[in-house]
Amino acid sequence: MKTFRVSLNLSLTNSSALAQTQTTPEPPKRRRGTSRWLTLAAPIALLVLWFLATDVLRLFTPNQLPSPIQVLRTASEMIADGSLWRNVAASIGRVVLGFIIGAGIAVIAGTLVGLSKTVETLIDPTLQALRNVPSLAWVPFLLLWLGIDEAPKITLIAIGAFFPVYLNLVSGIRQADRKLVEVGYIFGLRGFHLVRQIILPSALPYLLAGLRIGFGQAWLFLVAAELIASTRGLGFMLIDGQNSSRPDIMLVSIITLALLGKLSDSLLRIVERRALSWTDTFQGT
């Protein structure tokens, strides 16, 4: 969708003519107003359905599915006495720490594997096998080896964050354009400098996608981690609600998790968009 405006100048030796070729920038941004309402449509519809199913049509008993009003009331009580914030803070702390550790290790491992076929043959097959262990299957082992405090929880979250980041980074490095690598060679780049200046920036779109997915996984693994032997957190709230026959607390926990997950994803998307402003790719119609 670029348009050319070339100002023709019959004197071919007039070098200022060169300066006048230009392009117009990218297509106009989507109208923000309508899309925002579209985003709201589904949650509002769900809420209305929920309300109808509980308070109006009484399709569910309160112990099966409490009404949104009840859940709202419980949530406001938990906000008022600070317990919701305490649990949220505990969970966010774990997610962030676990993610940083997991993603950090993944960047190192992914870089090594991506750059070296030898390293790949050494560790990739094992990692691929471990990748398929589901979150809850790790829990008993981590509890056994690391106890019941923060260590097993952070470790589990780190495991969850690790794989998407690792896999995406390896892909990103492997798809680095050979043509650009040659440019690096020509200008004297070798080894570490070649990697830092050409290969890693090339892999950045993949890495960022991996980070986003990894963060989402971190949230999922957080809940698994908090289901066992916790005293605080949104996962703890979930299981506590389960143990005390308080489905309203369970719902507050789930909704809060969903909102936090969406929020963090949106924030990462913003970071991604800024960092990848240089890419020249299909943006959707």
Does 132 contact other proteins by CB under 8 A?
no
Does 62 contact other proteins by CB under 8 A?
yes
Query: Of residues 215-234, which lie at the interface with other proteins (CB under 8 A)?
Result: 228-231
Query: Of residues 144-203, which lie at the interface with other proteins (CB under 8 A)?
Result: 147-149, 179-180, 182-183, 185-188, 193, 197-198, 201
Does 25 contact other proteins by CB under 8 A?
yes
- The number of residues that bind other proteins (CB under 8 A) is 82
**Site for other proteins (CB under 8 A): which residue of 97, 120, 240, 254?**
240
Query: Of residues 80-119, which lie at the interface with other proteins (CB under 8 A)?
Result: none
Q: 52 or 130, CB closer to other proteins?
A: 52
Query: Of residues 245-284, which lie at the interface with other proteins (CB under 8 A)?
Result: 245-246, 248, 259, 262-263, 266-267, 269-270, 277-280
**Site for other proteins (CB under 8 A): which residue of 72, 92, 105, 112?**
72
Three-state secondary-structure class, residue 66: coil
Stretch that binds other proteins, among 32-40, 102-110, 160-168, 214-222 (CB under 8 A): 32-40
Using CB atoms within 10 Å of the CB of residue 100, give its burial: 0 to 12 exposed, 13 to 18 middle, 19+ buried.
middle
**Site for other proteins (CB under 8 A): which residue of 1, 10, 16, 282?**
16
Minimum gap (Å) between residue 164 Cβ and other proteins: 21
Stretch that binds other proteins, among 10-18, 94-102, 109-117, 127-135 (CB under 8 A): 10-18
Integer angstrom CA distances of residue 65 from 59, 70, 198, 237, 277: 9, 10, 55, 17, 45
